């Protein structure tokens, strides 16, 4: 596909470029067709939160990285949207935290698995788990194709980062006692609610910040990192994220025109 050339001074440039990236990912089999819809839903929630990383999201990002750095066996679950949007940051985060990348797809097709594996290897990944040529274990209580996990990855993980995940699988991961970290712009989704730490932010903003925190905190004493994790409460985090959306909407309600040039096409 020929990318739409969006001028640098276009107020919606970042958002339009992101769309093109997801569409390209769809054309190369990385992104599921439903991934286009999921992205649209993400865009809508991003509008509501003001297309920014809030201080609350930043605190969740820091706690999530602390959880990864103190885990015995952290794993990063990769789906099509995550791979299309932030392949390089996924690889950097994996290297800095020692968390292997595992492909785990909701809409599995062998050609998608192949395309995602190639994209991760092209981004510098040395190993990709969860592929059909590897052994597989199962998560109980999930339907057949989606229950498969890699025994060296999610199968034995204690902490799992599942960006943009569906609610059923998040619940299943909780049932088998994983500590679940997620990135989801919708603070009301089942994934957001069931996870232990929910980063309410766009993955394109959150992942680079996670990489930064991983660099900054990798030599921090384990006891300090554990304290960051234990002091983080997800229910309060979600409450505050929803409150920030309301605050943003209230400011829009007071003055819709003031920011119209940056929040509408
Ligand atoms: O690649 P696959 O086959 O594993 O499929 C991936 C999708 C995302 C299609 C699948 O997991 C799915 O259907 O997810 P849901 O149930 O639509 O949930 C996706 C969640 O991610 C929604 O709550 C969206 O608001 C949110 N979301 C979408 N884009 C972003 C996002 N959150 C953060 N950053 C985004 N860029």
> How do residues 37-89 score in pLDDT, each as one tens digit?
999 999 999 999 999 999 999 999 999 999 999 999 999 999 999 999 999 99
Tokens at 151, concatenated: 């025994």
The minimum-distance atom of ligand 1 relative to the CA of 31 is: 1
Q: Using pLDDT thresholds of 50, 70 and 90, give the confidence band for residue 8.
A: confident
Distance (Å) from CA 109 to ligand 1 centroid: 17
Distance CA 187, CA 195 (A): 11
Q: Using pLDDT thresholds of 50, 70 and 90, give the confidence band for residue 146.
A: low
The predicted pLDDT at position 259 comes to: 61
How far does Cα 261 stand from its chain's mean position? 28
Residue 47 has φ and ψ, to the nearest 5°, of -55, -45
Mean pLDDT of the chain: 93
CATH 3.40.50.12640 intervals, the chain:
55-237
Distance (Å) from CA 165 to ligand 1 centroid: 6
Residue 103 has φ and ψ, to the nearest 5°, of -75, 125
CA nearest ligand 1 atom 35, residue: 202
Classify residue 262 as exposed, middle or buried by CB count within 10 Å of its CB (0-12, 13-18, 19+). Answer: exposed
Distance (Å) from CA 246 to ligand 1 centroid: 22
Q: Using pLDDT thresholds of 50, 70 and 90, give the confidence band for residue 147.
A: confident
The predicted pLDDT at position 67 comes to: 98
> Best of 78, 81, 186 to mutate for ligand 1, by most ligand atoms within 8 A of CB?
81
Q: What architecture is the 55-237 domain classified under in CATH? A: 3-Layer(aba) Sandwich (3.40)
Distance CA 142, CA 165 (A): 14
The predicted pLDDT at position 13 comes to: 86
The predicted pLDDT at position 137 comes to: 87
Average pLDDT for residues 9-21, to the nearest whole number? 89
Q: What pLDDT, in 10s, does the model give residues 207-223?
A: 999 999 999 999 999 99
Q: Using pLDDT thresholds of 50, 70 and 90, give the confidence band for residue 140.
A: confident
> Best of 16, 164, 185, 210 to mutate for ligand 1, by most ligand atoms within 8 A of CB?
164
In which residue are the tokens 């995550």 written?
82
Cite the beta strand spans of the chain per DSSP E.
Answer: 74-78, 101-103, 128-129, 137-138, 148-149, 159-161, 179-183, 197-199
The minimum-distance atom of ligand 1 relative to the CA of 166 is: 16
The predicted pLDDT at position 78 comes to: 97
CB 184 within 8 A of CB 203: no
Q: Is the dihedral of CA 53, 57, 62, 65 positive or negative?
A: negative
The answer to whether the pTM exceeds 0.85 is yes
The answer to whether residue 145 scores a pLDDT higher than 90 is: no
Residues in contact with ligand 1 by the CB-under-6-Å rule are: 32, 34-35, 38-39, 41-42, 45, 79-81, 85, 105-107, 164-166, 183-186, 189, 202-203
The predicted pLDDT at position 34 comes to: 97
Name the 3-class secondary structure at 77: strand
Distance (Å) from CA 224 to ligand 1 centroid: 32
The minimum-distance atom of ligand 1 relative to the CA of 38 is: 17
The answer to whether residue 262 scores a pLDDT higher than 70 is: no
The predicted pLDDT at position 264 comes to: 43
């Amino acid at each position: 596909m020929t990318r739409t050339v969006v001028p640098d001074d276009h107020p919606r440039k970042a958002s339009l470029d992101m769309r093109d990236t997801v569409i390209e990912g769809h054309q190369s089999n990385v992104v599921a067709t439903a991934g286009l819809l999921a992205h649209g839903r993400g865009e809508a929630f991003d509008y509501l939160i003001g297309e920014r990383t809030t201080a609350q999201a930043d605190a969740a990002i820091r706690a999530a990285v602390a959880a990864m750095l103190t885990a015995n066996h952290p794993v990063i679950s990769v789906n099509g949207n995550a791979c299309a949007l932030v392949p390089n940051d996924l690889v950097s985060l994996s290297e800095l935290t020692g968390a292997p990348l595992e492909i785990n797809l909701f809409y599995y097709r062998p050609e998608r698995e192949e395309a995602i594996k190639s994209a991760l290897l092209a981004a510098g990944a040395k190993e990709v788990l969860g592929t059909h040529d590897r052994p597989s274990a199962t998560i109980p209580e999930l339907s057949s194709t989606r229950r498969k996990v890699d025994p060296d990855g999610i199968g034995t993980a204690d902490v799992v980062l599942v960006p943009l995940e569906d609610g059923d699988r998040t619940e299943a991961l909780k049932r088998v006692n994983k500590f679940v970290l997620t990135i989801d712009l919708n603070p009301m989704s089942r994934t957001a609610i069931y996870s232990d730490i929910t980063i309410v932010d766009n993955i394109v903003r959150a992942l680079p910040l996670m990489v930064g925190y991983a660099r900054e905190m990798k030599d921090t004493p384990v006891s300090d990192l554990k304290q960051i994790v234990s002091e983080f409460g997800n229910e309060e985090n979600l409450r505050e994220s929803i409150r920030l959306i309301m605050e943003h909407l209230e400011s829009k309600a007071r003055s819709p025109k003031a920011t119209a040039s940056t929040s509408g096409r």
